[in-house]
Structure 1
Amino acid sequence: MNQLMEISVNYNTTNQQRVRITSHKEAYELIIKNWNLNIIEFQEECKVILMNKGNFVLGIFDVSKGGIDSSVVDIRIILAVALKCNATQLILVHNHPSGSLTPSNSDKNITEKLSKACDLLNLTLLDHLIITRNDYYSLNKEDNFL
């Protein structure tokens, strides 16, 4: 008999407090508390905040860790995790170790691709935040991108 591997998404319910995000500023405040600030200016990372329809946070998923100026964002992995945990809304977040908050063309392209992929699965990409230790840039707010 063949055994197939199954993706497992675990919920840590030790902290029963339900967090609700209603703005990009609240998203930044939540994510910065959950970021390793020792490497925020050294290594690029990408995370996704997974939420339900009521904007309550289901969890934060570590998408990737990269190098000094890039990290791989695999849309298929993001969507697989979102579907597995019944998320309906997402906020993509990554840091710029350089300290610059200006989105690159690559940042804009991945945002557009993820937004289109979410639409196909009836998910909503609410925002894409670029963060540094002390500030953030919202592609939704600044560029009216989403």
Structure 2
Amino acid sequence: MQVQKTTIPHWSEDDRPREKMMLKGRNSLSDAELIAILIGTGSGMKSAVDLGREVLLLTNGDLYEFGKLRLSQLCEIKGIGKSKAVSILAALELGRRRKEIQTEKRPKIDSSEKAFKELRGYFTDLSHEEFFVMYLNRANELIQVKQLSIGGISGTYVDPKIVFKYGIDVGACGIILAHNHPSGNLKPSESDEKITKRILQFGDLIEMPVLDHLIVTDNGYFSFSDQELL
């Protein structure tokens, strides 16, 4: 007996992801159906939704971990070639960039928690260290968040001269340093303490104080200021 191939065009209109989105809105679609729209077509006996489900199984349906998938991991699934994998990664990157868009009203950063909430999106899905600086005006309102270095798994270096050059350019009155620990360890390293001290001294000289230094992980943050290490 020949097995009949059931592809998306043969489904009822309500079961087709694109038509379902147009009829019922995007919130009506499952995660697998949204991925199916990105994938576009199925492969062999698998529909695009079937492939979407298989892709989700890579992280057991955890969308947070899903955002960390690499091209090679997606291509391990039979039916997901480089073109489909790139479409998925492009959508994930757009979602990530959306987090970075600042609203017209400048948020006031008057606590380590508020700084963390503004910064955490910049460190999402990173498997290496990056160093960012928040530049604030006299009222502690955010002027700009600037990425200053990209490092490896266990470290990154930032030049204090560059930190304050950008600060002078944007007219900052104070700064907050931040970098991530991909390992999840919130304890500052010896090099973290040394670079903090160097930048702190530099800031005091030019009257642009370092207000805090945050170490960010997927599970939280460490604040030098809260721990009275500044």
TM range (shorter): 0.7 to 0.9
List runs of 5+ in structure 2 lacking aligned partners: 1-100
Could you list the per-position Cα deviations for residues 56-115 of structure 1 after superposition, in whole angstroms to 9, with x for gaps in the alignment? 000100011111011111111001000110001100000001100000111011111101
Q: What's the % identity of the aligned pairs? A: 34
In structure 1, stretches of 5+ residues that fail to align are: 1-12
Q: CA deviation at 1:36?
A: 4.3
Give the alignment partner of residue 165 of structure 2, picking from 60, 71, 80: 80
Matched with 1:145 is 229
TM-score (normalizing by structure 1) = 0.85
- 1:10 aligns with none
Q: Which residue of 2 aligns with 1:28?
A: 116
- Residue of structure 2 in register with 1:55 after alignment: 140
Is the 2:123–2:216 contact (alpha carbons within 8 Å) kept by the matching residues of 1?
Answer: no
- Superposition deviation, residue 16 in structure 1: 1.1
Secondary structure at 1:116 match in 2: helix
Distance 2:145 2:225 in 1: 19
Structure 2 partner of 1:5: none
Q: What stretches of structure 1 move > 2 A for 4+ residues in a row?
A: none
Match of 1:122 among 207, 217, 224: 207
Q: How does 1:90-109 map to 2 (within 5 A)?
A: 90-109=175-194
Structure 1 residue 14 displacement after superposition = 7.4
- Matching residue's letter, 2:198: K
Please give the per-residue CA displacement for 1:12-61, whole angstroms capped at 9, x wherever unaligned: x973121101100100011013x14121xx11000000001100000100
CA distance in 1, matches of 2:167, 2:189: 25
Structure-1 residue corresponding to 2:153: 68
Q: Report the aligned-residue RMSD.
A: 1.4
TM, length-normalised to structure 2: 0.55
Greater share of helix:
2
How many residue pairs match? The answer is 130
2: distance between equivalents of 1:67 and 1:49? 21
DSSP 3-state at the match of 1:59: strand
Bigger strand share: 1
